[in-house]
Amino acid sequence: MKGRGDRLARVAERIREEISLILQHRVKDPGLEGVTVTDVTMTGDLKIARVHYSVRGGEEERIAARDALRRSRGYIRKELGGALQMRYSPDVTFHYDTSFEKGIRIDALLRKAAEESSGEE
């Protein structure tokens, strides 16, 4: 028998896929160009979906994407409800994912440390 945590993961993955498709094909807001849904986390009762996203570009594109996602939130929830066929359509909140920037920063620090250690020999 599968546990409850397995269902949470399956629903979260399905929501990630559906929101990605909705953003690519149905929402016509130019502020959403370059937005990638990176992860979705769900509350235990499946009523709130925290959607984590990243954006290609700089600070200006990030702000435009944040505002576009806020404007499109109701439409995305409506479309998601139709696609999921669940009793309740989860409330969707969007959160910017900084893991890509952190990864770039860590990579740069590691490269710098490697250069410094090879220069000391």
Q: What pTM did the predictor assign?
A: 0.79
**Res. 12: pLDDT tops 80:** yes
User: For 13-39, how does the pLDDT look when each residue is reduced to its tens digit (9 = 90+)?
Assistant: 999 999 999 999 999 888 898 899 999
Buried b (16+ CB within 10 A) or exposed e, 74-104: eebbebbeebbeeeebbebebeebeeeeeee
**Res. 7: pLDDT tops 90:** no
pLDDT class for 95, splitting at 50, 70, 90?
very high
User: What residue segments make up the domains of the chain, in order of their start?
Assistant: 4-119
Contact of 65 with 12, CB cutoff 8 Å: no
Q: Which of 87, 70, 83, 86 is nearest to 35 (CA)?
A: 70
Domain 4-119: CATH superfamily is: K homology (KH) domain (3.30.300.20)
